[in-house]
Amino acid sequence: MNQPIHPTATDISAKPRARRADFVDADDKDMLRAARDLTKDLGEARGAIYWTDMLVSTAIGYGGIAVAILSSNIAIAIVAGLCASLALYRSLMFIHELTHIHRDALPGFRTAWNALVGVPMLTPSFMYEGVHVIHHKRTQYGTIEDPEYLPLALMKPWSLPLFVIVALLAPVALIVRNAILVPLGAVIPAVRTFTWERLSSLSINPDFRRKPATGAFAKRVFWQEAGASIWSLVLIGSTFAIGWRPLLIALSIVSLTALLNQLRTLVAHLWENEGDPMTVTAQFLDSVNVPPPGIAAEIWAPVGLRYHALHHLMPSMPYHDLPEAHRRLAGALGNGSTYEGANHPGMATLVARIARSTMGGG
């Protein structure tokens, strides 16, 4: 999941296109065939896993917020806040699954997630649905039409810390959007158009403009947006009844969640494409797997996102099947294969690689 605040694409520095040579002009058909043939028995979303994971994570998250607000012990409040931030981060990442699983695969799950997580966290599923799928389109990945791509590795060095730090403002921006811009948009069409086109998707490409919602999706947008708008007004109104402290604590916890997600976004790809269409294999190699044995990636890239490159090979694969799919492909294709080229050891290594690229160090 990406944040709606970002540096602009004009920050790209004028550098030679040396890294483009690292991409491939033809697909690795053996890898693509293996991805298809070795995972035929996988791919069914298991409701027991989805529901348990989402509900437990959400309960821990909200429980942690309550403890952080109510506790008079600073140490306990801090620990509770950290646990809440991580748990809510995991809950929020199910928005990614909702964009890929079949609408009939998990009856009631989308509605429950929106009611328990999406609307309360002011990020209903419409902010990702219909947007994230563009990122997976063969001819649009990495191009100017991709809402979730910026050539961060080719931008100026100061762009990276800005890209990450501005995520701290995301919760406040979401409150402003839902409490002020949405109600204004109901009576001022120009505000509505601006809000929908530019502030209604979890994207990082500042040039992306969202197309109008239509049909049944438009109805879902209406109710989800109405819920988020009412809830944001309730949050603001609560300060008159119980003061600012509870809301500020909750916003701080959610800001930490947004920061962690932005760090994950920073290392989800290598960000080395300058806008050219790419083969499926090139898209795979520009994406990142951080497989076991390390366990840290399961915290900062939860719900299958540690297998982000593999996800780009098989977008509809449920998150709980990705570890087994990875094990099979890694075992069959072996060391030195194209598949191994998308595997990376951890966040620190990836951040260092992107940082070196921005400074011209390759």
Q: 343 pairs with which residues across the strands? A: 289
pLDDT at 9: 38
Q: For residue range 175-187, what is the model confidence (pLDDT) as tens digits?
A: 999 999 999 999 9
- C-alpha pair distances (Å), 134 with each of 74, 97, 103, 203: 44, 15, 18, 11
Q: Please say whether the dihedral angle defined by the alpha carbons of residues 59, 61, 66 and 67, taken in this order, is positive or negative.
A: positive
Structure confidence at residue 2 as a pLDDT band (50, 70, 90): very low
Tokens at residue 107, please? Answer: 């009856």
Task: Tell whether 58 is covered by a domain.
Answer: yes
Distance between CA atoms of 88 and 109, rounded to whole angstroms?
17
Residue 233 makes CB contacts below 8 A (sequence gap 6+) with 179
Task: Tell whether 340 is covered by a domain.
Answer: yes
Task: Tell whether 295 is covered by a domain.
Answer: yes
Per the structure, the complete domain to which residue 141 belongs is given by 9-358
Residue 21 burial (CB count, 10 A): 7
331 secondary structure, DSSP code:
H
Task: Tell whether 319 is covered by a domain.
Answer: yes
pLDDT, the chain, mean: 91
Report the number of distinct structural domains present in the chain.
1
Q: Please say whether the dihedral angle defined by the alpha carbons of residues 28, 33, 38 and 43, taken in this order, is positive or negative.
A: positive
Structure confidence at residue 4 as a pLDDT band (50, 70, 90): very low
pTM for this structure?
Answer: 0.91
Task: Tell whether 1 is covered by a domain.
Answer: no
208 near 196, Cβ under 8 Å? no
Tracing tokens 């419409």 back to the chain, one arrives at 126
Q: For residue range 281-323, what is the model confidence (pLDDT) as tens digits?
A: 999 999 999 999 889 999 999 999 999 999 999 999 999 999 9
Task: Tell whether 2 is covered by a domain.
Answer: no
Q: 155 pairs with which residues across the strands? A: 12
Does residue 138 surpass a pLDDT of 60?
A: yes
Largest interatomic CA distance in the chain: 63
Distance between CA atoms of 151 and 12, rounded to whole angstroms?
7
185 near 191, Cβ under 8 Å? yes
The SS3 of residue 217 is helix
Q: Please say whether the dihedral angle defined by the alpha carbons of residues 45, 46, 49 and 52, taken in this order, is positive or negative.
A: positive
Tokens at residue 296, please? Answer: 């840290």
Task: Tell whether 237 is covered by a domain.
Answer: yes
- C-alpha pair distances (Å), 350 with each of 143, 290, 342: 22, 10, 11
Task: Tell whether 4 is covered by a domain.
Answer: no
Taking Cα atoms as reference points, which of 153, 187, 177, 287 lies closest to residue 232? 177
pLDDT at 101: 87
Taking Cα atoms as reference points, which of 77, 83, 82 lies closest to residue 56? 83
Tokens at residue 96, please? Answer: 């990614």
Counting residues of the chain whose pLDDT is more than 90, the rounded percentage is 83
Q: For residue range 182-221, what is the model confidence (pLDDT) as tens digits?
A: 999 999 999 999 999 999 999 999 999 999 999 999 999 9
Distance between CA atoms of 97 and 90, rounded to whole angstroms?
11
